[in-house]
Amino acid sequence: MSMILANQIGNEAYKLAGQFTGTYVGGGMNFAALGRAFNTSSDLFTAGIAADVIITAIWLVVCLAAPVLLTRNSSDEISADTPMPKDNSYTIEKSLYRSDGSMKIIHVAVLVTVVFGTIWISEALGRLLPFLPEILWLTTFVLLTAQIPYIKNIAGGAMLGNYLLLLFLASNGAKSVVANIVAVGPAVFYFAMGTIAIHGIFLFGVGYLLRIDAGTLAVASQANVGGSSSALALASARGYTDKILPGIAVGLLGYAVGNYLGLAVGNIMQAFL
């Protein structure tokens, strides 16, 4: 898409290619991180966010309808009105937001220290070893730090993380001014729309030929396009209790690898453009 729309978008088309790769593999946080790594202009950045938010919302509706439209027979589709087992889905959803034990000031202090310490080390290494972007150092250290048992088990970590994620999503929505698309040009919107169209045709087309059920395809698509939260929302709304955890896992994996893939695609497209 960046090669097709390069003339309309300009010399920053490769940056948008990398950012859309990151956001549609991971999520909005990858889009923002890659925008900083590529030093994308503010006008193109905000136009890209607006296009991403609009297309992601439309695609969520498409994925909600897809299992009904593509189901081969009624036995394959679980009705959205079917109550979810209390010992399964509700337990899963609650576990995502629970905070084991009471949070103490020492827990907050440790979390804040880890966050700012990781950022400081990443910035220092980015200056010392500039051949690797700062955002890759930060992503790598975050992934490694998250595997430390003590850090994983700090009370309130998941709750604070989810809260900050919601703040980030709200700020993304506030930045997504549709007028920016008009100012920069509709090519940015076409870029996002074309990317998702290719994704949808390939995923649902190949999945249908391989006889993969439409519910699985829809949740997988949302895990890519919207992230783990969208996969959770769709699986819960459609009653796919067995697909909640896999959808979340795929979405989280996307967050982890989105920056690496986005930078790779952006640099490759820069060479071609």
pTM exceeds 0.95 for this model:
no
Answer yes or no: are the C-beta atoms of 89 and 262 closer than 8 Å: no
Residue holding tokens 């819960």?
A: 236
Residue 176 is classified by DSSP as: -
Q: What is residue 82's predicted lDDT score, i.e. its pLDDT? A: 43
**Residue type at 238 in one-letter notation:** R
The rounded average pLDDT for each run of 10 residues, N- to C-terminus, in the chain (273 residues) is 83 92 90 91 88 90 88 49 46 54 82 90 88 85 87 79 76 65 79 94 92 92 89 88 89 91 93 83
Q: What is residue 77's predicted lDDT score, i.e. its pLDDT? A: 46
Q: What is residue 150's predicted lDDT score, i.e. its pLDDT? A: 85
Q: What is residue 105's predicted lDDT score, i.e. its pLDDT? A: 86
**Residue type at 149 in one-letter notation:** P
Q: 254: which residues sit within 8 A by CB, 6+ positions away?
A: 25, 26, 27, 30, 223, 224, 227, 228
Q: How far is residue 120's CA from residue 136's CA, in Å, rounded to a whole number? A: 13
Q: What is residue 2's predicted lDDT score, i.e. its pLDDT? A: 76
**Residue type at 179 in one-letter notation:** A
Answer yes or no: are the C-beta atoms of 51 and 181 closer than 8 Å: yes
φ, ψ at 212 (rounded to 5°): -85, 135
